[in-house]
Amino acid sequence: MSETQPPPLKITYSQIAITLLIVLLAFGLRFVLLLDRAAADYLVVPLPGYDQFRYFNNGLSILDGTWPTAPYWFHPLPSYVNALFLALTGRSLMGLRLIWVLLDALTCAALAGSVWLLTRRIWAGWVAGLLYAVYPVSIFYGTTLLIAPMATGLVAWITFFALWQGERLRWWRTAGLGLLSGLLALCRMNIAPVAGIWLLWLALSKPGWRKLIGHGLVWAVVTAATIAPFTAWNFYITDGAFIPVAQTGPKELYMANNRDAGGLYESSVALENADLDFWSALARDIEVAPVRFAGLLGRKFALFWGASEPGNNIDYLTAVETSPLLQGLFAWNHVWLVVPGLLGLATLFYRDKRWFLYFGLMIAWMAFSGTVTYGYSRTRYPVVVPLMLMAAYLAAALFAQRERVNWPQLARRYALPVIIVAALVIFPIWALAGEAPPLPPKSTLSTVPDAVNALDVEYGELRLHGWRPVEQWPVAERGWAEVGQAYTIELFWSVSEPTDAEYQFYLALVDDGTRIAGMDRAIGTVSYPPTPTDTWQPDQIYSEIVSVRMPFDAPLARSGFILLGVYRQDADGTIVNVPMTAPNQQPNLALQTLAVYDRAYLPEPSNDLTAADIVFGEQIRLTGYDISQEAVRLSWQAVSDIPMDYALFVHVEDEDGEQIPTNDQPPVPGLNTSNWMPGWPLASTVNLPDLEPGSYTIYVGLYSQTTGQRLTVDGPDNRLPLSELVIATD
């Protein structure tokens, strides 16, 4: 228990036999739960769309030689391991689960061995093994095909080998640590860095720089060699075609870090419409709502230490409902590991600072990765390994002091760590009585803020006051978006009197009657915590930021409408549209027009036109033209974002100065100038009327459709004399 060389550890066959009995107990409990879950086969047979289904079917594809067409880049290991186990079991799903149950049960042996090495107490190792064997959450995860039990077992065996190295450095054990570290990295659960913490322990042990560098290189080379074949094979079977983050959004990392989330794995408009890389999206949402973001991190920190077991597409609580076994163990929750585990870590500080640092950094990294990503139980689950080890260590330390306790001296010695640990476990102790604390409540307004586009539209007792663009999302203000970007605005609602109705709304981009992109949600439930309209108080204004992400198959360079409509559902689930009651009746509102662009498909400018470089009003550039007897062809580009819509006129004047009538039109039909993306090449054609033989001057110009004012250009009366057109006599 000190930093000096520990006494040799002697283990008898009978002690090994007791350890095997603990492993068999763990296997038996997991087998019973497996039968309970098999009785409700929807919990055992992997369902499409779930991770277990992907891992299972990828394993079958590998055996068939067809290989997954889109390997699970974030978690590649389970697919390949499942292929091996399916081959051993004749492709039996239950056989596959039984192998995983057995491997999970063997984690008890890794924990027992780790505590033996740490404490020199055989019984303390049994305590750690029993904790894992009977912990209900461990029993549950041991029956799944998820990464969580796989990663947890790897963490346990990595810890065992690291502690074994504390006995005496051995090259083969370093290689074993590299192999296990590589496998943990292939799980890709954000906890892979814990595998390298033992190198810091090694450095603090001062083995000499040659051994330090040598063991470090062996570990790094074996780790890389373990990872390399999987990565190389993934590249080979997909021709190196990673799915661009821009097409999926930074969802895997951004999950539950947005302004709308409650910290759990849940659908969020901000999440689904994330349109930036992780760090940019994170910085943007902090800027939008810094207090709320801080509250979100606090809530997720509490979730990590707390009693709840929040699920996502697989739910521990659902398994409890179907299993008498778990119902009998349900009272034992995560907090019962956190409190003794952290106290044990504090005790270790006074006995071996190197191992204190090892386990402390392991727990700290897992808490950090769980807080900054998303708060559901399987992402925090591997932390049970160091917590159980430290709880067993605490028991051994207390037992060693049982006959020679000097309570005043003990209080002085352990006062600081106890105070620190007590502060750390405020959340877990509080969570024993309920869930983690909520985020700061949504704020309401008494008046509509400035710079809101007023609407004052009524739907019975529901009123939409208006909307405004959000500075951090410029799409709504500039009138155009690139594919993958989000159209984001803030809506302001209220009710004139309490209502029992839960109104819903849609926000959609519609082009020529076709919905290109959109979102549907109950009003007030976009952000967390949900506050549907039947909970609203009159004379309070409720606001929410909502987003619609532009799809990659959207029609390009066309002006569509952003439409907003309100509806509700009857008791039988029938959707009923709620039309406006004031100021007039209509089914939906057109908030603005919007066009979508994709820089990957930037059109080539026409090369058969006469080149030009003429700017109208410092906003629109004429880049080329061609004039024939039948039509005038023009090519354009926006110099900058264009705030309004302009119309194009083409004036045809004869030799006497008489103007031949022509029709005005948008510079590019079907695309408003307020929706032009700067730099995007555009082209249009204006048909000319039948002209008699003679000489004509062609003028072009642009004017505001609202005010009629022309954009300035170098020409008389802001008309650009484009060219002379001569029509010869036949």
Q: Domain with 457 in it: what CATH number? A: 2.70.50.60
SS3 634: strand
- Quick one: average pLDDT of 424-441? 60
Structure tokens at 574: 């029938």
Say what the pLDDT of residue 589 is: 93
Between these two residues, 352 and 267, which has the higher pLDDT value?
A: 352
- Quick one: average pLDDT of 415-423? 64
Q: Quick check: 413 pLDDT over 70? A: no
Say what the pLDDT of residue 376 is: 79
Same domain for 301 and 206, yes or no, is yes
Contact 677, 597 (CB under 8 A): yes
Same domain for 712 and 622, yes or no, is yes
Say what the pLDDT of residue 189 is: 75
pLDDT in tens, 1-50: 344 556 666 778 888 999 999 999 999 999 999 988 888 766 677 777 77
> Residue 166 domain-assigned?
yes
**Residue 588: CA count within 13 A, CB half-sphere:** 19
Q: Residue type for 404, please?
A: R
- Quick one: average pLDDT of 375-382? 85
Q: How many residues does the chain have?
A: 730
- Quick one: average pLDDT of 674-689? 94
Point out the least confidently predicted range of 156-165, 290-299, 362-371.
Answer: 290-299
Between these two residues, 661 and 712, which has the higher pLDDT value?
A: 712
- Quick one: average pLDDT of 432-448? 75
Q: Quick check: 304 pLDDT over 90? A: no
Same domain for 161 and 198, yes or no, is yes
Say what the pLDDT of residue 3 is: 47
Say what the pLDDT of residue 246 is: 45
Same domain for 199 and 169, yes or no, is yes
What's the rounded Cα separation, in Å, for the pair 711 and 701? Answer: 7
Say what the pLDDT of residue 52 is: 84
Of 251, 246, 248, the C-alpha closest to 267 is: 251
Same domain for 225 and 248, yes or no, is yes
Same domain for 221 and 263, yes or no, is yes
> Residue 1 domain-assigned?
no
Same domain for 594 and 705, yes or no, is no
Same domain for 295 and 371, yes or no, is yes
Same domain for 477 and 361, yes or no, is no
Say what the pLDDT of residue 2 is: 41
Angle between helices 147-165 and 353-372 (to 10 degrees): 160
Say what the pLDDT of residue 614 is: 95
Give the Cβ contact number of residue 91 at 10 Å.
15
| pLDDT grade for 271, boundaries at 50, 70 and 90 | low
Domain end: 558, 578, 600, which one?
A: 600
pLDDT in tens, 597-639: 999 898 888 888 999 999 999 999 999 999 999 999 999 999 9
Q: Quick check: 173 pLDDT over 90? A: yes
Domain of residue 551: give its range: 453-600
Number of domains in the chain: 3
- Quick one: average pLDDT of 360-382? 87
Domain end: 372, 397, 431, which one?
A: 431
> Residue 366 domain-assigned?
yes
- Quick one: average pLDDT of 158-179? 94
Domain end: 557, 575, 600, which one?
A: 600
Question: What percentage of the chain exceeds 70 in pLDDT?
Answer: 88
Same domain for 135 and 278, yes or no, is yes
> Residue 136 domain-assigned?
yes
Q: What are phi and psi of 295, to 5 degrees?
A: -65, -35
Q: Quick check: 442 pLDDT over 80? A: yes
Same domain for 24 and 111, yes or no, is yes
What is the reported pTM? 0.81
**CATH number of the domain residue 706 falls in:** 2.60.40.770
Say what the pLDDT of residue 42 is: 62
End-to-end, the C-alpha distance of the chain in Å comes to: 111
- Quick one: average pLDDT of 344-366? 92
Q: Quick check: 72 pLDDT over 80? A: no
> Residue 577 domain-assigned?
yes
Q: What are phi and psi of 67, to 5 degrees?
A: 65, 145
Say what the pLDDT of residue 708 is: 92
Point out the least confidently predicted range of 86-100, 267-281, 558-572, 670-684.
Answer: 267-281
Q: Quick check: 443 pLDDT over 80? A: yes
> Residue 6 domain-assigned?
no
Contact 363, 345 (CB under 8 A): yes
Contact 474, 284 (CB under 8 A): no
CA distance readout (Å), 657 to 593, 653, 660, 699, 713 = 39, 5, 9, 12, 20
Mean per-residue pLDDT over the chain, rounded? 87
Could you tell me whether strands 631-638 and 514-522 are parallel, antiparallel, or unpaired per DSSP bridges?
A: unpaired
- Quick one: average pLDDT of 147-166? 94
Q: What are phi and psi of 514, to 5 degrees?
A: -105, 130
Same domain for 384 and 483, yes or no, is no
- Quick one: average pLDDT of 325-330? 80
| pLDDT grade for 499, boundaries at 50, 70 and 90 | very high
> Residue 77 domain-assigned?
yes
